[in-house]
Structure 1
Amino acid sequence: MKHKKGQIGVSAEDIFPLIKKFLYTDQEIFLRELVANAVDATTKLKALASKGEFNGELGDLTIDVILDEKAKTITIKDRGIGMTEEEVLKYLNQVAFSSAKDFLEKYSGENLIGHFGLGFYSAFMVADKVEVRTKSYKEDAKAVKWECDGTPEYTLDDIDKEDRGTEIILHIGEEGKDYLNKARIQELLDKYCKFLPVLIRFGKKKIYKTEGEGDDAKQIEEEVDNIINNPHPIWKKAPKDLKDEDYKSFYHEMFPGTLNDPVFWIHLKMDYPFNLTGILYFPKITSNFDVQKSKIHLYSNQVFVTDDVRAIVPEFLMLLHGVIDSPDIPLNVSRSQLQNDHRVRKITSYITKKVADKLNDIFKKDRKKFESKWDDISTFVKYGMMTDDKFFEKAKKFNLFKNEEGKYFTFDEYIKKIEA
């Protein structure tokens, strides 16, 4: 093959303008979608290697995001499975295009919580031209370049490319010029990609080390890879393998502006009837406690979805901090549809039960410890008892009252004391 031209699809002429206009205020999802695709390509290669279907050298699988402000390009580069010429034609011209078309026809104009599914064609939200340079992991595969300038036509050429994998080069247009900014790209990667399961690198960064001691101490500047993500967040690990310091360290990683350690935490892990993992932290309430209701982050397979979890987390627990990760929460639905989803209602009930059971467990096993933390958690407990009947039934066993002498009693204990 030397040079090939073609039409993407009969309706492409109508789709590209829609992509440009679609979710104009949510343009930033293009980076999440493209990096997630790169992660998928990488994890697929690792899976093939683990099954013995790929015997080559895996090498460095780090995904690179490259910003070239002068050339006005953003590149997402992986060393995953790559694509053959046939796969490029099938995936880019048929599968990915059809998915984007279906997505736009079904969801355009709706207030969805995730906006997941636009996939590869989200690139055209910010780019006037997109190049895909790719080489399959398959033996003797030739590298090819697919190119499209936002019209129904594409070109396909043979190219020289030594390493396997895919590079997607976005030639940023006027609509996306705000993304030709290092701080903006860093912000988006931190937001959406902070815990993706494959390392993501965004250029270099400077760190400073102290060498020597006392009067001889001096700071040394060093340039290192700017790794965006922690691919092994602790919510994916077994609680038995974690120490208190691991939980506290992760808390401060998630919420770097928080000075105090959390009062305690609950590690969520459920495999049936739905898949859910996560950690919820009870923050220490101080006199100037900033009551924010966007401190619980929802992820789907380690990809950030939203910090508006009102449809999933009971109202009284919105004061907590933490992470919930579930591939079973429907993403392309409105918030009202989400609240009525039977899976989501089960998840909400599960979270309420886990919080109540954890509090009751601490109360039974270590009453002294529970009482020492009561001033910090009483706000959550009392709010929950007022707003959630199921929580009330469980919490009345450990809800405490303090007398003038500073001693604590449950309601039943207090009644017995009066009657005695």
Structure 2
Amino acid sequence: MAETAKQTREFQAETKQLLDLMIHSIYTNREIFLRELISNSSDAIDKVRFNALTNQDLLEGTSEFEIYLLPDEDTKTLTISDNGMGMTYNEVIENIGTIAKSGTKAFLQKLKDSGSATDNELIGQFGVGFYSAFMVADKVTLVTRAPGQAKGVRWESIGDGTYTIEECEKETRGTTIILSLRAEYCSPENSEENFLNKYTLQNLVKKYSDYIRYPIKMNFINEEKERDSEGKIIEDAPVVKTTEVRTLNSMTPLWTKNKSQITPDEYNNLYKELFHDWEDPLEIIHSKVEGAVEYTTLLFVPARAPFDFYQREATSGIRLYSKNVFVMDNYKDLLPEYLRFVRGIVDSPDFSLNISRELLQHSAQLKKVGKNLEKSVLKSLEAMLSKDRAKYERFWKEYGKAIKSGVYSDFSSREKLQDLLLFPTSSSDELVTLADYISRMPEGQSVIYYATGKDRSSVERLPQMEILREKGIEVIYLLDRVDEFAIDALSQYNDKKFQSISRGDLKLDDVSSDSKKETDELSKENESLLTAVKEQLAGKVADVKISSRLKSSPVCLISDDNGISISMEQILSEMDKSMFKARRILELNPTHDVFKALKNTFEKDANSEAFKDYCELLYGQALLLEGLTPDDPISFAKKVASLMAGTK
């Protein structure tokens, strides 16, 4: 096989931007590069170790795994090497040269959108991994070989937007990264950021990588004079130099210890190490279960959702171990979809080391573990809500949509999740639970009122809110696209049904029989007018009624109790499900001057253009009040202009 010649390639445009940001101090905490590279090495060893369970040839006779650090003051280089999986020529191009693998487009957009984001926020959401090397190095060289490959691959870049790649000789599998450090990061005067200083490196490994499960080694030179037979130093003897290979990390799996022996910092450091985050987790759940199924679990709720959390391609899941040996990463079927934000490990002696995802899906033991974990997470969230509301609201800000999705997508979970829901309301600046709302309901209120809209101000401007505001009735605001799906799925809470202020009868129990009688009489008195408006708006509305809910507004658009709501119709339309239509009802305020003008125009000439325009304008106004665009904006604007000019 002919050797591939050395090539020079260009990074994508986004990669160039990223490298430029790395080089020009995007992060103040430059030492993070070491943790990133060590974590990559650990992942590579995990991969070869797991794959070797079914293919021993991958080990190439070496089953002792290690990560080695080699600082060299003469060449001003720091080398990080491992005997993990290594990469092929094409894998180097795909994983190192192609930026799409790192989520950098979203990373760069986040930088533009949020100038206040901290280092920790960004590194937690976007694992820049390998590219962090350019924060401290003028040149980065990568030499790698995958098991079974005759040749290795050499990759090199100075961070100028290009890189070279060629085949090379490499005797052992794995990856070696050589950082040619910038002068300021190998200066003896810069004690904290001298990354050639072995004690600085030792401290950084202890700080960030102590729980990496493979030994991280480094050579130390000991200088000592000879000693006599009694162990005393011989003063005039020459100094003898010896090399000592030290393991810098403890490698003790934290989850095997008793909870009382583990400090919060130890938990936090393990989480950051395992899941490449730079913020402490919001919540930690550590438990050991013995019985028919024996397992230890250590779960974390991250402080922030990843940038791609609500995208289909987002990766998440639980790490499975058997007797501290890694079995599988990102196993998604252990917890329900709505808890996909939970990260952590489950270690059980009952797990087989050689097991496929397909077999795991049918494992009765694993299903039982999953149900127990679900209960543990929900119990922890309930405790957080009752004991630390501020902390729970931070959780809700990040993962509330996931919990709400569980309400409408998982029938069996609705009761479990309903008390975890939070909503803004008309009566509070704080988020409230459904239980909070029920506790504040006045005597006689029979339903839970809600309103949908894009934001708080748009909901508060809805004409349907007027009568409820006047009566001092609290209204739940549904401002997320998923909210109405969740409310429809719940249907009721504590025997109180949910009632949209824009659907059907408002069920205001304190409305007097006289008011209802008056509305009925007005409807009968104006029956011919209502019929004429309905005919004029045929195909747009299903009915036209006299309103009992309007106070100052002339018109509103509602849907009846049967079928979907108008807001749901809009959401489904955006999802290319436009076959679902709301049954729209136009309600008119009989006390408003506009109604009187409409009635006068109708009585003068029911077939006039002016009456037809009034009908269209009222419908267009009702759409605008709902946050919708009139069917024909140009025609609507012309009718408004004509009306203002007095030509109609």
TM-score grouping bracket, smaller chain normalisation: 0.5 to 0.7
- Residue 209 of structure 2 is matched in structure 1 by 193
Pick the aligned partner of 2:259 from 266, 272, 290: 266
Deviation at 1:13, TM superposition (A): 3.0
311 and 60 in structure 1: CA distance in 2 versus 1, 3 angstrom threshold: closer
Give CA deviations for 1:140-173 in whole Å, capped at 9, x if unaligned.
3x11101111111111122121111110111112
TM-score (structure 1 length as normaliser): 0.57
- Residue 180 of structure 1 is matched in structure 2 by 196
> Structure 1: which 5+ runs fail to align?
238-246, 248-264, 268-278, 282-292, 315-323, 335-340, 354-420
Instruction: Indicate yes or no: 2:320 matched with 1:300.
Output: no
Give CA deviations for 1:94-117 in whole Å, capped at 9, x if unaligned.
157643443343357512358240
Structure-2 separation of matches of 1:310 and 1:156: 39
Structure-2 separation of matches of 1:196 and 1:26: 21
Structure-2 separation of matches of 1:160 and 1:44: 23
Give 1:140-159 correspondences, 5 Å limit.
140=150, 142-159=151-168
75 and 91 in structure 1: CA distance in 2 versus 1, 3 angstrom threshold: same
Structure-2 separation of matches of 1:313 and 1:83: 35
Deviation at 1:132, TM superposition (A): 0.5
Greater C-alpha Rg: 2
194 and 348 in structure 1: CA distance in 2 versus 1, 3 angstrom threshold: farther
Aligned residues of 1:81 and 1:137 also touching (Cα < 8 A) = yes
Structure-1 separation of matches of 2:24 and 2:273: 28
- Residue 204 of structure 1 is matched in structure 2 by 220
Give 1:324-339 correspondences, 5 Å limit.
326=299, 328-330=301-303
Please state whether the residue corresponding to 1:203 is helix, strand or coil: strand
- Residue 15 of structure 2 is matched in structure 1 by 12
Identity %: 28
138 and 343 in structure 1: CA distance in 2 versus 1, 3 angstrom threshold: closer
Aligned residues of 2:8 and 2:163 also touching (Cα < 8 A) = yes
Task: For 2:259, give the aligned amino acid.
Answer: I
Instruction: Indicate yes or no: 2:86 matched with 1:115.
Output: no
Task: For 1:230, give the aligned amino acid.
Answer: S
Aligned residues of 1:82 and 1:135 also touching (Cα < 8 A) = yes
Pick the aligned partner of 2:173 from 151, 164, 170: 164
- Residue 250 of structure 1 is matched in structure 2 by none
Give 1:79-94 correspondences, 5 Å limit.
79-94=83-98
Deviation at 1:7, TM superposition (A): 0.6
Task: For 2:15, give the aligned amino acid.
Answer: A
135 and 309 in structure 1: CA distance in 2 versus 1, 3 angstrom threshold: closer
184 and 306 in structure 1: CA distance in 2 versus 1, 3 angstrom threshold: farther
Structure-1 separation of matches of 2:281 and 2:93: 42
225 and 101 in structure 1: CA distance in 2 versus 1, 3 angstrom threshold: farther
Deviation at 1:236, TM superposition (A): 2.9
280 and 135 in structure 1: CA distance in 2 versus 1, 3 angstrom threshold: closer
Pick the aligned partner of 1:69 from 61, 73, 76: 73
Higher relative contact order (CA 8 A, sep 6+): 1
Structure-1 separation of matches of 2:69 and 2:100: 21
- Residue 230 of structure 1 is matched in structure 2 by 250
Deviation at 1:343, TM superposition (A): 5.8
> Structure 2: which 5+ runs fail to align?
187-192, 234-239, 286-296, 308-339, 344-375, 384-648
Structure-1 separation of matches of 2:72 and 2:241: 24
Please state whether the residue corresponding to 1:300 is helix, strand or coil: helix
Single out whichever of 51-60 and 84-93 deviates more from structure 2: 51-60
Please state whether the residue corresponding to 2:103 is helix, strand or coil: helix
Give 1:119-130 correspondences, 5 Å limit.
119-130=129-140
Please state whether the residue corresponding to 1:129 is helix, strand or coil: strand
Aligned residues of 2:35 and 2:209 also touching (Cα < 8 A) = yes
12 and 134 in structure 1: CA distance in 2 versus 1, 3 angstrom threshold: same
- Residue 48 of structure 1 is matched in structure 2 by 51
Aligned residues of 1:298 and 1:325 also touching (Cα < 8 A) = no
Figure out how many residues of one structure are paired with residues of the other and give that number.
284
Give CA deviations for 1:205-252 in whole Å, capped at 9, x if unaligned.
6599xx99xx9466999753110112233x332xxxxxxxxx6xxxxx
- Residue 502 of structure 2 is matched in structure 1 by none
49 and 217 in structure 1: CA distance in 2 versus 1, 3 angstrom threshold: same
Structure-1 separation of matches of 2:90 and 2:276: 33
222 and 327 in structure 1: CA distance in 2 versus 1, 3 angstrom threshold: farther
Aligned residues of 2:44 and 2:85 also touching (Cα < 8 A) = yes
19 and 52 in structure 1: CA distance in 2 versus 1, 3 angstrom threshold: same
